[in-house]
Each structure stands twice: as C-alpha cells, then as structure tokens.
Structure 1
Amino acid sequence: MSIQGSKENVIPRPEYPRPQMVRDSWINLNGIWEFEIDHGKSGRARKIYERKLESKILVPFCPESKLSGIEYKDFMAAVWYKREFDIPDEWMGKRVLIHFGAVDYETEVWINGVSAGKHRGGYTSFSFDITGLIKPGTNVVVVCAEDDVRSGLQPKGKQSSEYYSHGCDYTRTTGIWQTVWLECVPQEYISSFKIIPDPENECVYIETYFEGDTDGYTIEGTALYDGKKVGYEKVSIGGKTARFCIKLSEIHLWEPGSPELYDLELVLCKDEEPVDSVKSYFGLRSVILGKNAILINGKPVFQRLVLDQGFYPDGIYTAPSDEDLKRDIEISMELGFNGARLHQKVFEPRFLYWADKLGYLVWGEYGSWGLNITTPMGLERFLPEWLEAVERDFNHPSIIGWCPFNETWDLNGTRQDDEVLRIVYNVTKAIDKTRPVIDTSGNFHVATDVFDIHDYEQNPEVFRAKFEPMKNGGEVYVTFPDRQKYQGQPYFVSEYGGIWWSPGNDKGWGYGQRPASEQEFMERYKGLTEALLSNPAICGFCYTQLYDIEQEVNGLYTYDRKPKFDVKAIYAINSQKAAIEE
C-alpha cells in the first residue's frame, strides 16, 4: 500500500521527545514501518515476525488515524510492527536504550528475534536496555501490541467500546501512538531525577538516580537563568542515588502567564572526569492549599480551566506536529483560560513542555474509564501505570495537581471499591507531597485534598442558586450527598457548561437544550461562568470543552480548531477578577 503524502526519508514528529532530560546521542525511529493486523492474536504461533508484514504504517500515528495511512476503524485484537535500524559505529561498546513514548495497550518488543521486554499500559513511556541484543550495522525491531477496550481490565479513557463513536466516547487508538527512539548512554549513567523547587528558601532540591556501578562517583548540578550561572552544587554518590540542594543567587518565580524558567545541567563524574551529562529545566514555584483557594507562590489564583481531551481529527490521540500541541495551549489562553484539565488521557511530555514554557496550569490525569474498579483487581491494573505517569511528569512546574480517576460510576449496580481510590490517593501523596491530589473528579470522593463537583445545569439562575448559600458560609452544594461528604477543602467546579452549539447540525451531542441563537449561547456562557467567578467559596472552574470532538459539539472551537464564537468576548468573560483574587 502507499501512504499518501509520506516519504521514506521524512520523519514525522522529529522533535526531541523528552524535553526535561536531554542528551545529544539519539536516533528518531518514527517513519515508515511494516505493519499487520492480527485479529486472532495468533501472530506469535504463526511467527509472522519472521517474514515481511503485509502493509506499511507511518509511526507514530495509530492505525485508526488518517495520518497513519491505514485508517482502519474496527476493533483490532493485536497489531504488529517491524523495521530495520542502523547502529552508529561510535555507539558500540556503550549502552543502547530503545524508548517508546506510548503504546496502547500490552506490548512486547523483540530485537533481532529476541524478546527485549514487555510493558502493560497504553499511556506511559517505557524503555528497554537492548545493548546485549544489537549488532554492528543493521538490526531489526519487532513490536506487538494487544488491545481490548471492552475487557474491563484496561483503562481506555474516551476510546469508544462500541463500533461507532457515541456520546462522549470517540475513535479508538491501538498500538504505537508516540515517538519511538534510540538513545546511547555510558555504562554508568543518570537514569532519572526529581526536581523539588523551594521558593521560600530560595533553592531547589535534586534527587538523582543512576544505573551501573556509580559508588564513589560525584554528581554536579548547575542552575542557570538566562544563560547566567545562579547556583551550583557537587556531592559524592553512595550506591545508586544522591540528593542535594542548589542555593539560588537569583529568584525568578514561575507563575501562570509569567513562566520564568531556569536551565539545569547535571554531570556525572568519575575521578573529576565527566562520564554522563543531561540538560533539563525547572520552574521555581510552590502549590499550597488555602482555606478557599489553591495558592501558587503564596497567592490565591482562580483556576480558569478548560477541558482538553487531546484528540486530533487526523491523528486521533497523536498531534500531527509539535506546533499543534503548542497551539492548543495558545488558543485556550486566547479565550482567557489559564489552564486545563488534561482529561481522561496522559498527555505526552511535549505538551507539558509547552505548558511549562507558556505558563499554563494543568492537572495531570489518567484515562481511567473502562477499568472495573469494583474489586481490588482494579488496583492491580491501575496503580503501576499511574505511578509511571506521576514519576515521569513529576518535574513539570505546569502540573499543579494530580487526579487519577474521573466520575467513578457504579458498574451494573455494583459500587466502586473505595479502598482502590483510597490506596491510589495515599500512594500518590507518598510519591509527591508537593501537589494536591483529587481522588476522583466529580464523584464519588473517598479521600481528596480538593472537593470538586460536576454540574451541567444550563439555566444560569438555577446554577447560581446552587452555590449562593456558600458565599456566607452556608450550606455547601454537594452532588450525591449520600455517597460523598464535603470536609472543608477548597471547592472546585471541575466540569460545567458543555453548551451544545453546532449550527445546522442536529445530530451532534452536547449537554442540555441547545441555545436558539449565538446570542443566547453567549448569555448562557456568561451567566454560568460569572456565577462561579463571583463566589468567594469557589477556587476554580473547568469549562467543557475547548474544541468539538467528532459527534460531541460543545467546544468553543471546532474540531479543526477554528473559533465558533467571538474570541475577545469569551476572553472578556473569563478574565474578570474572581472573588478569591480580590
């Protein structure tokens, strides 16, 4: 088959895929791969990896997408990929890692016919050390991904479990959907690190982790601002980890819309000689819970958020370009939003990079829908990948909170296992004590730092009346009061609006009764939004949603990101001073 618009020597998504941990020695494996659908999951038995696969695909786009060249929309039990790659001569004798940004859902990777490893989870990055499997010159990588969104045993997010997209579920993603790449590292190298900013004490803490025998080595950390050295520390390594503090001679805070960033260089040394080095960056900011607000650098910031689900008309889960990721943030900010809920999906690091660079607040979430959490089995399936997401994205200053679950509805009359939510909350807090955690957005709360609710009431006066008693310390509006209890946390209306607006399209889907005119839409939007901005007991809102997705037509932009309304008028409503900011 031919892939329209693609060329063998053109690499899609060519940018460096891991912007918070940069090395120079890497090779992008995106591009044309051999591909085959394995409906019966019999490929291993048939050893299809030993022959040429029957078609071609453009990686990193999923086979459901137009950009992949396949555009197959039915369920696929398993898919196979295969391609050759060359190892540079200068890489031999060092370690070689193969990285996958994300593959949905259960993956096995072979190098030159030998299994390099397996990974379960459709949203997080993983890698394998393939040093012992490669040879000089040309090598072969084979990937098999199995996917079953109807099993109840895997989180699917907003991927439809029916043949057609319906309601608020959309086209599925199967297999590779983020960049595949090779990296060359020394025998002893920096494997990961955590950055913990401390603006109150004018410093930043670094926790570094290593592979190889680094006992007796040293690690150097240098902080720079605008190219100027503003902090340095060097410590000895005992075992495979080291912790140190870099005092900063200049203080520049990372704040919404004013994203001051420092550069960070880490160098691993043996006997004063550099062995490995990585480049990164960080933002100096704190996130603290106040009585009625979430404080950023000690100041109450009303969270004017919008729901962003990370779907693209031609790429489905995968943005066609890095610029498209950046542009989604820019069009949100043009409407007066200062952040987003990254909804029912773990967004790729390049999106978070742009959020860091643009000063955009985000909640790190997960595609929890589709997973049965009525028994402890849900924990076994959920927790490992969720922890991978938290660990991978820990260093992004734009992430100001974690929310592992969304609307944990009863399943066939069986309630959620509350202990699944409680354990996930407690483990998340143990890993990251610097951010608030919402156990499940909307319902049903078990243990949460922020109390959030979802309400799609379309009448502004009725909507406002629900929250009015809270202004003077009166009764707090709680959805499902028989299932969850408000306990004095900051109060967040994390889904509202969803106003159905698509002129000439009466087959679309949205919340409530459609407005009769654009003027009626604007009046409704204004009334709903001002009801939340003006209430001193509310710390933020999240409007549903930024853009239309397939049949869901309640976006402020169309699916191809064209404005549906006067951008300046929406901006004027959203940017009004909130009660908690006065």
Structure 2
Amino acid sequence: MFKLKLSVLLVCLSIFSSICFAQVSSIQNIQARKIQSLNGKWNYIIDPYENGYYDYRHQPYDQSKTATGGFFDDKEQKDKSELIEYNFDGSPQMNVPGDWNSQSEKLELYEGTIWLRRKFDAQPQKGKRYFVYFGAVNYEAHVYLNGKKIGTHKGGFTPFQFEVTGKLKAGSNSIVVKADNTRKPDEIPTVNTDWWNYGGITRDVYLAELPEHFISDYKLQLEKGSNNSLSFSLKLADAFAGQEVSLTIPELNLKKDYKTDSEGKISEVFIWNNLSLWSPESPKLYTVNIKSANENIEDKIGFRTIEVKGDSILLNGKSVFFRGISMHDENPLLQGRLRSQGDMRMMLQWAKDLNCNYIRLAHYPHNEEMMRLADEMGLLVWAEVPVYWTISWENPVTYANAKQQLTDLISRDKNRASVVVWSIGNETPLSAPRLSFMSNLAETARSLDDTRLVAAALEVHRESNTMILNDPLGEKIDLVSFNEYAGWYFGSSPSEILKYDFNIKYNKPVVITEFGGDALGGFHADENTRWSEEYQEALYKNQLTMLSKIPALRGIIPWILTDFRSPRRQHPVYQNFWNRKGLMSETGKKKKAYFVLKNFYDQMQEKYK
C-alpha cells in the first residue's frame, strides 16, 4: 500500500512541479554579468486585504481582461474625474534590499501583502536578452513589469529571475512586486518557526543584460575522492551547438578550449596536479575565467575534498573536527536581515574569534555573499533548506516546493569550496510519510552534487537517562547529526547533564547540530538559576564533558552565536521577543559560556593538528 502511495505521489510531484515552479534555473554568478542594480528606495503600499490584487468578488485583477484596479498597473491620474484608489508616488519608501519589519515600527510584526514599486531607465539593445533577477523575496512574490505580469515565485531565501526581453521599454520602466510573507501550513517553512518572519525584498535586485547564447550555469570542482581530477561542466541557456568556450586559471597556467554540443553543454574530467587545496587553515582561492565569444565571467574557486570514512570526516584526506557554531541571517546590533558585506563579515569574524572552523547557516539558505566570504575567510559551511519541524509530508506540492528550494540552493552554491554539507531539514518528527519525503530530498541532493555530505539535524528520544538516536533517516545521510538540549528542555539543572549517555545506532561520524540554553546577558546568579550567565556557563561545561564521551564525536555546532529575535520568546523580563541562547548578547557582548567553548575549541585544534 505504501509503495503504491509513493508511486502516485512521485507522479503527482512531477506534475505539480512543472505547474507551480516552472522557471529558468537561476543564473550562475549573476554578479559577474553585465547588471544594472535596482536596489535603493522603493515606494510601498501596505495591503492587508489584498485590494490591489483581488476585486470585490475576490477575483485576481491580473487574470481578468476587463477588470481594472490592480496596483501593479501603477497608474497615474490623468483626469480629475478618474478614480484610482492607490498612488505609489505619494506612498512611503523603504530600502531594497531590506525587510519591512525593521524599517517601520508599525510593520514590525506585520505578516501579509506589501506592494513595492521602483521606476528605472533602460535602453534595451537588439540581439541582447534581459532578465530581472531577485536574490530573495520573502515569501511569495508576484512580479510585474510595466503593468504586465512576468512571473510568480515561492520560497523566501533562494534566487529567481524572469526574462523580460521584448518587454522593456526604452526609457522609463516600472517594476512592481507583490510580496507576501504570510505563513501557511503547506509551505516551506510551515507556520511554526523560531525566527523572525522578515518580509519583503530582502536581497539584491538586478536587471541583467546577456548575449543571446549566454552561459547560464557552470561547475568546476574536484571529483569525489580525488585531489587532482577536476570536473568542469557548463551549459548555455539554450541548446546552441558550436559555441567556443575557454576555461582559464592563470595561476596554474591552465587553459582549456571547448565547443558546446548539440544541447549547448560542455562536460569534461581532466587531471591537473600541484593544486593547492582549500582548507580553513589555508583558504586558497584561484581566479577562474570562463570566456565565450560574448562573455568573460570571472570567479574565485577553491578546490578541496570532503568525505566520510567509518566514523571520521576527512577534509583533503585528513581527519577533521568541526569546531562549529550556528547563526541566523540577522544582525543582532541592528534589527533586520544582514544588510551588507560588512554585516556578514562581522558575523563570520565573530565565529573566527571563537576559533570556529565551521558554521551552520540555519535554518534556510543565507545570502550568497556569506558563502563567498566563508570561502575567503576559511570557514566550512553547513547549508540548509527550511524543512523545519512539522511539514505537510503528504502534500505533493509541498514536496515540490522543498525540492525546488534545495535544487536552487545547490545550483547557487555548488562552486563554493566552503560548503561541505547540504542539510535537508531540522528536527522533523518520525513518520513513514516524513521518511519518504526526507529520503527523496537526500536522493535529490546526491543526484545534483555527489561531492559533498548530505545531512539533517535529527532529534533524539529519551529512555530514562539514555538519549537514543535510531531515526531511520540515519541510513540515508552521511552524518549522525542531531540536536539535544539536556540541561535546558529536559533536566532541572546543569549538573543533571552528566547523568545522560547515548545509544547511537549508526557507525558514522557524530556531529551535534544543536545544544545550549538561554542566558540574559549581564544577568548573574548561581549556576542553578535559569536565565543567568552562570547557568549557561555550567550547562556548556557539563555538555562538553558529556559529549566528549561519544567515541565517534567529530563535531559540535552549539546553538547559537548571538541572541536573535523570535516572536515565540515572550517572557517580558528575560526574553522580550529574543531567543537568548546566544553566546553573545544583542549588543555583541560575550557571555561567560563563550569562553568555555573557546577553551574547548583551542584544545580540539591542538588535538587535530
């Protein structure tokens, strides 16, 4: 019966995927193309009733040939008797990229629709193709150019673009985005999360000008298990044969010439010795040029291997211990998403100061710039999609959405040496439908990229003083990676942590993906007083003692680097809409537990030299 349901599900998935998520795969390395930034001040209209999308019969304006009134028309009153019930020019402005919650006090907790509009000039040229590219819009985006709909996208953290060739006007153009961050039970993530639901156009927006037969995607990396076998693949946006393409790495005196096949693709594996391999200790990046008749794309790419052997994780063939920390895409010092490279570099440097070699970018894809900075600064990355807690496991459309977000993440970041783990989810409860859903995601990740590890943050269950990990998904992933909160969500004091041991079913490397407890920065008491820095400090000391007893322990990723905002955290004194599990406060001050973890990481660095 279950096999029958699964086969029906997979058929439905293919159907729903083509209907709901049809779009050109995001363009690789958009920053290296000819782009016009559409960032800056956008006018916005708050629309909680969606009056700008539906008429009074609740029919969408953009599906009617006769109805008028949609905000996307961006009309200006030309006659004094004309009725228009909106006006972008007279509306307030917000910064793009940027979330709306941090830019207006009345929008801090707003969930719903906001319309954003920007006018820009363009001079489209014959023989060129044009795309409007969004780094991310949370969550559902309807995009209109000069009053005409150009596409819809779901997913709050992955890039997308729509072709506007032939739709741009010479001179002034109007782009309107209907952004809706409403939480819904069948979406990814679902209604229940533990982070702030920042709405809006949260990442860069570009207008890209590309040649007719442009390079849409490329990949250059070491083959699995090899330190000198390079795999290069490329595809054009169309099936154009005979396009001459060269791959050059000047520092290596490497130059390869190719012609695209009948599908507009190139694929080759070749040997190149004397590569300097990328690692946290030596984050070597090579300047790579990919050139065609009409494009010259530059990237910086590092080469390294990552694999599991028995209960060890091998980076470039050498055993490594993940000295990790988790973080959200949020600036604790200034409300809102990380705004700039400076913000991101600050967060990554804080992780480096803690002596981390590894970061978990939870619980959704972070900005592409974070991966590039991790490449540069030497931090291994766990990259994750927001399959979080209780998902609609049996809904084919929900699965198609999750699969698309995973595909987009891997497509975007596959050339980043820092990314060593694709995570398919966090704390998902056991059930047969969930196992099928998650197993299919694991297979998708491997089919798209077999050179990295596939993992998920699993849950444990307890019997007396034993934490048991026997999740059947453990068979499908590379790490025994799980969250546990001894001393905080179970156990009445830090001292009780030492009573626990583990029963782990799988002979794989163990990576603890979360542990921790809350502390209000600056609140001091004894170690048995909840919310105090001393409680968190004692919790960390005893957690590290307990976890060190696991023979296969190969990494820990405590929760979390800094305090972060969450509507779930409502205690008026100790939380006030903040999750206080950070090792640093919202002011950037280090709590006492920070130094416990820093000392442990210093010891582990010496051990794994």
**TM-score normalized by the length of structure 2:** 0.79
Measured in 1, the distance between the counterparts of 2:106 and 2:412 equals 30
Map of 1:385 onto structure 2? 405
Conserved in 2, the CA contact under 8 Å of 1:124 and 1:346? yes
One-letter code aligned to 1:382: A
Does residue 119 of structure 2 align to residue 84 of structure 1?
yes
- The 1:448/1:384 distance shift into structure 2, 3 A limit, reads same
Does residue 573 of structure 2 align to residue 554 of structure 1?
no
Conserved in 2, the CA contact under 8 Å of 1:147 and 1:174? yes
Conserved in 2, the CA contact under 8 Å of 1:253 and 1:284? yes
Conserved in 1, the CA contact under 8 Å of 2:28 and 2:218? no
Question: SS at 2:189's partner residue?
Answer: coil
Q: Deviations over 1:51-73 (max 9, x none)?
A: 332332111111111xx356502
Measured in 2, the distance between the counterparts of 1:356 and 1:145 equals 32
Q: Deviations over 1:525-559 (max 9, x none)?
A: 23422543564321111111100113211211112
Measured in 2, the distance between the counterparts of 1:523 and 1:371 equals 32
- The 1:248/1:464 distance shift into structure 2, 3 A limit, reads farther
Conserved in 1, the CA contact under 8 Å of 2:327 and 2:361? yes
Map of 1:250 onto structure 2? 274
Measured in 1, the distance between the counterparts of 2:347 and 2:28 equals 18
One-letter code aligned to 2:420: I
Question: SS at 2:522's partner residue?
Answer: coil
Question: SS at 1:403's partner residue?
Answer: strand
Q: 322, 342, 345: which one pairs with 1:303?
A: 322
Map of 1:132 onto structure 2? 166
Higher mean displacement: 313-322 or 556-565: 313-322
**TM-score normalized by the length of structure 1:** 0.83
Map of 1:11 onto structure 2? none
Question: SS at 1:404's partner residue?
Answer: strand
Conserved in 1, the CA contact under 8 Å of 2:308 and 2:314? yes
Higher mean displacement: 381-390 or 343-352: 381-390
Alignment of 1:229-240 (within 5 A): 229-238=252-261, 239-240=263-264
Map of 1:195 onto structure 2? 220
| Cα distance, 1:21 vs structure 2 | 5.3
Q: Deviations over 1:479-513 (max 9, x none)?
A: xxxxxxx232222221122353433499xxxx995
Q: 307, 319, 329: which one pairs with 1:288?
A: 307
Percent identity of equivalent pairs = 23
Map of 1:259 onto structure 2? 283
One-letter code aligned to 2:348: I
Conserved in 2, the CA contact under 8 Å of 1:22 and 1:280? no
- The 1:315/1:186 distance shift into structure 2, 3 A limit, reads farther
Map of 1:482 onto structure 2? none
Map of 2:354 onto structure 1? 335
Does residue 147 of structure 2 align to residue 113 of structure 1?
yes
Conserved in 1, the CA contact under 8 Å of 2:584 and 2:594? no
| Cα distance, 1:120 vs structure 2 | 1.4
Question: SS at 1:191's partner residue?
Answer: strand
Q: Deviations over 1:108-156 (max 9, x none)?
A: 211111211111111100011111100211111111122321x211223
One-letter code aligned to 2:360: R
Question: SS at 1:437's partner residue?
Answer: strand
Map of 1:14 onto structure 2? none
- The 1:543/1:440 distance shift into structure 2, 3 A limit, reads closer
Conserved in 1, the CA contact under 8 Å of 2:28 and 2:411? no
Map of 2:36 onto structure 1? 27
Does residue 60 of structure 2 align to residue 43 of structure 1?
no
Measured in 1, the distance between the counterparts of 2:511 and 2:595 equals 25
- The 1:421/1:516 distance shift into structure 2, 3 A limit, reads closer
Map of 1:3 onto structure 2? none
Measured in 1, the distance between the counterparts of 2:555 and 2:457 equals 16
Q: Deviations over 1:198-245 (max 9, x none)?
A: 483524211101024531112110113xxx343121122112211124
Map of 2:603 onto structure 1? 576
Conserved in 2, the CA contact under 8 Å of 1:63 and 1:72? yes
- The 1:493/1:438 distance shift into structure 2, 3 A limit, reads same
Conserved in 1, the CA contact under 8 Å of 2:301 and 2:417? yes
Conserved in 1, the CA contact under 8 Å of 2:283 and 2:376? yes
Measured in 1, the distance between the counterparts of 2:51 and 2:390 equals 25
Does residue 482 of structure 2 align to residue 453 of structure 1?
yes
Conserved in 1, the CA contact under 8 Å of 2:365 and 2:383? yes
Question: SS at 2:590's partner residue?
Answer: coil
Conserved in 2, the CA contact under 8 Å of 1:222 and 1:232? yes
Measured in 2, the distance between the counterparts of 1:466 and 1:74 equals 40
Conserved in 1, the CA contact under 8 Å of 2:136 and 2:201? yes
Question: SS at 2:401's partner residue?
Answer: helix
Conserved in 1, the CA contact under 8 Å of 2:445 and 2:454? yes
Question: SS at 2:443's partner residue?
Answer: helix
Conserved in 2, the CA contact under 8 Å of 1:209 and 1:240? yes
Map of 2:439 onto structure 1? 422
- The 1:370/1:243 distance shift into structure 2, 3 A limit, reads same
- The 1:531/1:19 distance shift into structure 2, 3 A limit, reads farther
Q: 540, 548, 557: which one pairs with 1:525?
A: 540
Q: Deviations over 1:421-450 (max 9, x none)?
A: 111111111111111111453365522221
Measured in 2, the distance between the counterparts of 1:448 and 1:300 equals 19
Conserved in 2, the CA contact under 8 Å of 1:344 and 1:366? yes
Map of 1:180 onto structure 2? 205
Question: SS at 2:455's partner residue?
Answer: coil
Measured in 2, the distance between the counterparts of 1:299 and 1:223 equals 26
Does residue 188 of structure 2 align to residue 155 of structure 1?
yes
Conserved in 1, the CA contact under 8 Å of 2:186 and 2:395? no
Which ranges in structure 1 are unaligned for 5 or more consecutive residues? 1-16, 162-167, 269-273, 468-475, 479-485
Question: SS at 1:503's partner residue?
Answer: coil
Q: Deviations over 1:377-431 (max 9, x none)?
A: 3313321222111211111111111111100137xxx875321111111111111
- The 1:55/1:417 distance shift into structure 2, 3 A limit, reads same
| Cα distance, 1:95 vs structure 2 | 1.3
Map of 1:57 onto structure 2? 94
Question: SS at 2:375's partner residue?
Answer: helix
Question: SS at 1:204's partner residue?
Answer: strand
- The 1:530/1:451 distance shift into structure 2, 3 A limit, reads same
One-letter code aligned to 1:206: F
Higher mean displacement: 383-392 or 442-451: 442-451
Q: Deviations over 1:355-376 (max 9, x none)?
A: 1111101111022237623314
Q: CA RMSD in A?
A: 2.9
One-letter code aligned to 2:267: R
Map of 2:81 onto structure 1? none
| Cα distance, 1:190 vs structure 2 | 0.5
Q: 527, 533, 536: which one pairs with 2:551?
A: 536
Q: Deviations over 1:239-263 (max 9, x none)?
A: 2211124543532110123201111
Conserved in 2, the CA contact under 8 Å of 1:374 and 1:416? yes
Measured in 2, the distance between the counterparts of 1:315 and 1:205 equals 42
| Cα distance, 1:349 vs structure 2 | 0.4
- The 1:211/1:358 distance shift into structure 2, 3 A limit, reads same
Q: 295, 311, 317: which one pairs with 1:276?
A: 295
- The 1:499/1:73 distance shift into structure 2, 3 A limit, reads closer
Which ranges in structure 2 are unaligned for 5 or more consecutive residues? 1-25, 54-60, 62-68, 76-86, 461-470, 488-492, 566-577
Question: SS at 1:453's partner residue?
Answer: strand
Map of 2:237 onto structure 1? 211
Measured in 2, the distance between the counterparts of 1:95 and 1:495 equals 46
One-letter code aligned to 1:255: S
Higher mean displacement: 492-501 or 520-529: 520-529
